Amino acid sequence: MPTTCPNWPYPRLIAHRGAGRQAPENTLASMRLGAGHGFLMMEYDVKLSRDGVAVLLHDDTMDRTSNGSGRASDQTFAELTRFDFGAWHSPSYAGEPIPSLHAIAAYTIANGIHSNIEIKPTTGSEAETGRQVALLAQALWRDASLPPLLSSFSETALLAAQQAAPELPRALLLEKALPADWQERLQRLQCCGANLNDKHTDRSSVEQLRNAGYTVVVWTVNDVDRARELLEWGCDAIVTDEIEAISPRHPI
């Protein structure tokens, strides 16, 4: 049986990487911008520094989203804080630091914002990242109104998260179309749902998952009509970069 989220307790609209297109992705600035547009849930990517600090970063390396280079997992957290994770986006965000999961937990919980933590391990450290992020989430969200939803493409990370903090809800991220063995995989990982790639999501996949009692989140949906269609099919939530046209301020 899945660890179900029988009634999706989270908002239906989730800002991707914070408001990660209009502000530098996976930073406190992107969370604040998304919150300013009315978003009450953020998706963001988390991995470990060399000294085991959970930080927000999408890629294995810092090259694309900072003035540094190389793998973030080769740097301590103190070393990572010396780089600029905002100027690559635009001058107004120059000096934006890499955030720790501690900082993002403090900001989101204090402001009533829910979290979808995507466990995004540096290649080769899947189990350790799953375990550490789950333990931290368990501790940091202990008194929050809702726990964060943990998700990952890595089944190794999800299994380690399940073993470390079994009570936290988990979702399997699927890059391609719903695989034939989806039910076995979700059961093995004790996931409450699947987070699907919009490019490969059809009505039948959504209905199969929903009928089996699983939650369905679709990413990354930036078209209003498509968002409306997915929600009508029964998806629980969509993850978006489009914080203007798809906004909790004007229900779609």
CB of 1 to Mg ion, least distance (A): 27
Nearer to ligand G3P, 142 or 230 (CB): 230
CB of 158 to ligand G3P, least distance (A): 13
Q: Which of 60, 96, 118, 198 binds ligand G3P (CB under 6 A)?
A: 118
> In the bound complex, which residue of the shown chain has the CB atom lying closest to ligand G3P?
219
- Contact flag: residue 58 with ligand G3P (CB under 6 A): yes
| Annotation marks residue 58 as catalytic | yes
Cα torsion through 12, 17, 22, 28, rounded to 10: 110
> Taking a C-beta distance cutoff of 8 angstroms, is the pair 246, 222 a contact?
yes
> Taking a C-beta distance cutoff of 8 angstroms, is the pair 118, 44 a contact?
yes
Amino acid at 198: D
Burial category of 69 from C-beta neighbours within 10 Å (exposed 0-12, middle 13-18, buried 19 and up): exposed
End-to-end CA separation in angstroms for the chain: 33
- Contact flag: residue 219 with ligand G3P (CB under 6 A): yes
Nearer to ligand G3P, 59 or 84 (CB): 59
- Contact flag: residue 45 with Mg ion (CB under 5 A): yes
- Contact flag: residue 173 with ligand G3P (CB under 6 A): yes
The pair of structure tokens assigned to 148 is: 């964060």
> Taking a C-beta distance cutoff of 8 angstroms, is the pair 252, 231 a contact?
yes
What residues are paired with 154 via a beta bridge?
none
CB of 78 to Mg ion, least distance (A): 25
How many residues at the interface with ligand G3P, by CB under 6 A?
10
Nearer to Mg ion, 199 or 250 (CB): 199
Give, as ranges, the residues between 205 and 224 that touch Mg ion (CB under 5 A). none
CB of 148 to Mg ion, least distance (A): 13
CB of 82 to ligand G3P, least distance (A): 25
Closest CA to 99 of 145, 49, 168, 33: 49
- Contact flag: residue 188 with ligand G3P (CB under 6 A): no
To 5 degrees, how large is the angle CA 237–CA 239–CA 245? 100
The pair of structure tokens assigned to 100 is: 């720790």
> Taking a C-beta distance cutoff of 8 angstroms, is the pair 44, 26 a contact?
yes
Nearer to ligand G3P, 137 or 173 (CB): 173
How many angstroms from the chain centroid is the CA of residue 245? 21
| Annotation marks residue 114 as catalytic | no
- Contact flag: residue 60 with Mg ion (CB under 5 A): no
Nearer to Mg ion, 118 or 126 (CB): 118
* Residues annotated catalytic, as ranges: 16, 58
Q: Which residues here bind Mg ion, judged by CB under 5 A?
A: 45, 118
Q: Which residues here bind ligand G3P, judged by CB under 6 A?
A: 16, 43, 45, 58, 118, 151, 173, 195, 219, 239
